[in-house]
Structure 1
Amino acid sequence: MTGLNRQTIGSQGIQHKFIYIVSWLSTLSGWLAALMIVSAVGITCQMIYVRAVLNLSTIWQTEAVVYLMISATLMGLSYVQRLRGHVNVDLIPILLSVRMRKYLYFFTLLLSIMIVLIMVVYAFEHWHLAYERNWRSDSVWGVRLWIPYLALPVGFFLLFLQLFADFLAVVVGEDTPFGLEDK
């Protein structure tokens, strides 16, 4: 979605407000993902200094970097979707008529929404199991695994919301299928 109007007009007002809120949440999660990556880089630098200069062993740094990078990937999903930053081959949509392009868009988007919704359910179940059973990592640090696992349901849920907002944006005319202009 390129330019989202903040004003809500007529019967489509709720949809526009929903699209704006989801867009804001996706942007926030993108910034959080970026902060996680910067933190992981800082922790890696600290780990290198402790090992190379101070000649000491590290306990928590490697595990923290792994959890931060995986969480950043999951939390950044909705932001990448919002910006259409994924790899996109639009040869088929370009060759299709406007009507067929819309059908293809809705088919692929609805399929994506269903798959991501399944991921949300299983991710929540996995996170809840880790929380309920107080799972800990097998390292010396012994981090409670529900903390890094929380990125699974949250990241996929935000992606679900962004996909649904993209769907709604095309339905209400705020956006075009695949971001392509009509012929």
Structure 2
Amino acid sequence: MSGQTVAVAARHGGDPFIRAVHAVSTLCGWVAAGLLVASLLITCQMIFVRAVLGQSTIWQTETVIFLVIAAVCLGLPYVQLVRGHVNVDLLPLMLKGRNRMIWAVLLKLVTIAVIALMAWYSFDVLHQAWSRNWKSPSVWAPRIWPVWAAVTVGFTLMLLQLLADFLALLRGIDQPFSLETR
């Protein structure tokens, strides 16, 4: 393998759809970061209430769990945008030209199908949680549809980011596997 290859963040190439999806994915990254900071602050408050004040906590643990789930799911499109997912680049690095492109298209289509299924089924669970008024079995007993809403929105926006990446790949705006030779 000649040359050094580096994965780069997704490009929009001036395409308004791709640029809009990138903006939404970036916003999701900021929201996810904010949710993680909020969960950290609530965890600190919970520790203070338990350790210093000697009181019990009711809502903090579940709130932190819900916030982290929302942060992870809403952060999916941003991580896809910046190519932050774990990759095994051995085969893409070995393939050249047309074969690399075919492999990239195939993997992108499979990924789109899997994420579309995740979005669809998370919407189904969201609908059930909403219509059946599901609540957590804890003492606090919050409704759980907001968590499923975050899961559904996260996977749906991840799907949108993948579609934008696929469009950029097909139009030649982005390279297969976002690999550039230096």
TM score, norm. by length of structure 1: 0.91
Question: Measured at CA, do residues 152 and 3 of structure 1 come closer, stay the same or move farther in structure 2, by a change above 3 Å?
Answer: closer
Structure 1 residue identity aligned to 2:12:
L
Q: Would you say 1:46 and 2:54 are equivalent positions?
A: no
Of structures 1 and 2, the one with the larger relative CO (CA 8 A, separation 6+) is: 2
User: Unaligned 5+ residue runs, structure 1?
Assistant: 7-15
Tell me if the contact between 1:98 and 1:182 (Cα under 8 Å) persists in the aligned partners.
no
1:1-183 mapped onto 2 (5 Å cutoff) = 1-6=9-14, 16-181=15-180
Could you tell me how far apart the structure 2 residues matched to 1:121 and 1:5 are?
Answer: 30
Could you tell me how far apart the structure 2 residues matched to 1:176 and 1:151 are?
Answer: 31
Runs of 4+ residues deviating >4 angstroms: none
* 1:144-167 CA distance string (max 9 Å, x none): 111111111101001100111000
The offset of 1:71, in angstroms, is 1.1
- Residue matched to 2:3: none
Could you tell me how far apart the structure 1 residues matched to 2:138 and 2:22 are?
Answer: 38
The offset of 1:171, in angstroms, is 1.1
Question: Measured at CA, do residues 2 and 119 of structure 1 come closer, stay the same or move farther in structure 2, by a change above 3 Å?
Answer: closer
Could you tell me how far apart the structure 1 residues matched to 2:26 and 2:140 are?
Answer: 32
Structure 1 residue identity aligned to 2:86:
V
**Identity level (%):** 49
Q: Secondary structure at the match of 2:88?
A: coil
The offset of 1:181, in angstroms, is 3.0
Q: What is the aligned length?
A: 174
The offset of 1:141, in angstroms, is 1.4
Coordinate RMSD, CA, aligned: 1.4
| Between 162-171 and 87-96, the greater mean CA deviation after superposition | 87-96
TM score, norm. by length of structure 2: 0.91
- Residue matched to 1:10: none
Could you tell me how far apart the structure 1 residues matched to 2:88 and 2:139 are?
Answer: 46
Could you tell me how far apart the structure 1 residues matched to 2:97 and 2:148 are?
Answer: 42
Structure 1 residue identity aligned to 2:178:
G
